[in-house]
Amino acid sequence: MEFIKVTEQYQPGIALIQLNRPKELNALNKQLMEEVRDALQVFDKNDQVRVIIITGNEQAFAAGADIKQMADKSAIDMLLIDQFSTWDQIRKTKKPIIAAVSGFALGGGCEFAMTCDMIIASESAKFGQPEIKIGTIPGAGGTQRLTKAVGKAKAMELILTGRFLSAEEAHFYGLVNKVVPVEMYLHEAVELAKEIARMSPVAVQLAKEAINRSFETQLDEGLAFERKNFYMTFASEDQKEGMKAFVEKRKPEFKGR
Ligand code: CAA
């Protein structure tokens, strides 16, 4: 594993996956997500694991999909690379997953946290879907999951402006389960995991499946729609300009083409 650290028994019954690209603020490249998928599939088959925690570091859970990896791609490249099929496999994990989030959870990072089942946030956590600022839109579920979590008006504001949500606001809007001081966020996630780990694993799995079913049919359709529109932005000059500007550390000039 190059981009994640995995501990099978972080505490009895609790596995930990730590995203580990600190210099890039844990930007989610294709390989990192494949490593997460592989670790989750192993844990799902391991009876000794009851609950999985995914975390980053104090500064960043993840600052989004890897812009440098995507910047030059065409819409058809994106379609063929099909990076989100890995995300589809991740969301099929049967065991409960808790995201322990500190610092930035932006773009794909916010979407990844929302793909988990519960979120424990540190006071420093910042959530957001800033893709609009680089000429694209969320592509890994943001338009669907954020809208379900915080409601239409707030989701519109966040996705159309790229503004960030503080941990307290995220809690107010129901995006996260609990906000705790920075030094406590992993501990708090472990406490929640321990409580769940004491329950029947069969009942936990069936409950998770049933809760997800409450919106999964619409979610499948919504994700497919979002993905096509996300790819479509890669046919625009604005996406090329937006991502190029990020890499070159300057403000983009959007032309509406
Ligand atoms: N992709 C690739 N590299 C990234 C990155 C990303 N999403 N986010 C940060 N980095 C890199 C930076 O390029 C920088 O690398 P260098 O040192 O080599 O220049 C390093 O991480 C540190 O970042 P900054 O210097 O920018 O740190 P900062 O503290 O000044 O700013 C930040 C932090 C506000 C999070 C800023 O890095 C930022 O805006 N990041 C991009 C956020 C974003 O737009 N995310 C959405 C990505 S698109 C997406 O996710 C699509 C989807 O839905 C799947």
pLDDT of residue 68: 97
Q: Which of 35, 131, 169, 188 is catalytic?
A: 131
Q: Which of 64, 108, 128, 141 is catalytic?
A: 108
Q: How far is ligand 1, taken at its centre, from the CA of residue 244, in Å? A: 12
CA-CA distances (angstroms) from residue 68 to 31, 48, 152?
14, 38, 30
CA-CA distances (angstroms) from residue 83 to 29, 69, 79, 87, 163?
9, 11, 8, 7, 25
pLDDT of residue 93: 98
SS3 label, residue 74: coil
Q: Which helix (H) or strand (E) holds 36?
A: helix 30-45
Ligand 1 binding site (Cβ under 6 Å of any ligand atom): 24-25, 27, 63-68, 104, 106-108, 111, 130-131, 134, 138-140, 142
Mutate to test the pocket of ligand 1, among 67, 230, 233 (most ligand atoms within 8 A of CB): 67
State pTM to two decimals: 0.96
Pairing relationship of beta strands 118-122 and 97-101 according to DSSP bridges: parallel
Q: How far is ligand 1, taken at its centre, from the CA of residue 67, in Å? A: 7
3-state helix, strand and coil shares in percent for the chain, rounded to the nearest 5: 55, 20, 30
Which parts of the chain register pLDDT below 70?
Answer: none
Residue nearest to atom 38 of ligand 1 (CA): 63
Start-end of H helices in 174-236? 185-197, 201-233
pLDDT of residue 218: 86
Query: What is the spatial distance between Cα 103 and Cα 58, in angstroms, rounded to a whole number?
Result: 6
